[in-house]
């Protein structure tokens, strides 16, 4: 199932979204298209990476801010 998601993600974020943005922004050169494609593909990768981090059991059910606060408090208690 994750292989299908990867292929769909590559097609959508590497081709479809850049084409739409390229047309809507009325860009002209292939270089501009490839820059848009690289930006959207990179942002998809970063979002996927962050989603993977938040799926870890120790973060499940907590917001990122809450997890950072609780970890900070736990570490400061360990230091003292």
In tens, the pLDDT along 10-45 reads 888 888 999 999 999 999 999 999 999 999 988 888
Determine the structural domain holding residue 38 and report its residue range: 2-79
**What integer best gives the mean pLDDT of the chain?**
83
What domain count does the chain have?
Answer: 1
When pLDDT is averaged across residues 40-69 and rounded to a whole number, the result is 78
Tell me: pLDDT of 57 over 70: no
Specify whether the backbone of 31 is left (phi greater than 0), alpha (psi in -120 to 50) or beta: alpha
Whole-model pTM above 0.75? Answer: no
pLDDT band for position 74 (50/70/90)? confident
Q: Give the residue, 62 or 35, on which the prediction is more confident.
A: 35
CA dist list (Å): 68 to 22, 39, 48, 64: 38, 28, 19, 6
């Amino acid at each position: 199932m994750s292989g299908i998601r990867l292929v769909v993600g590559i097609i959508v974020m590497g081709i479809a979204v850049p084409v739409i943005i390229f047309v809507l922004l009325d860009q002209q050169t292939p270089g501009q298209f490839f820059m848009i494609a690289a930006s959207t593909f990179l942002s998809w990768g970063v979002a996927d990476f962050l989603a993977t981090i938040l799926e870890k059991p120790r973060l499940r059910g907590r917001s990122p801010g809450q997890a950072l606060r609780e970890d900070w408090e736990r570490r400061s208690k360990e230091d003292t």
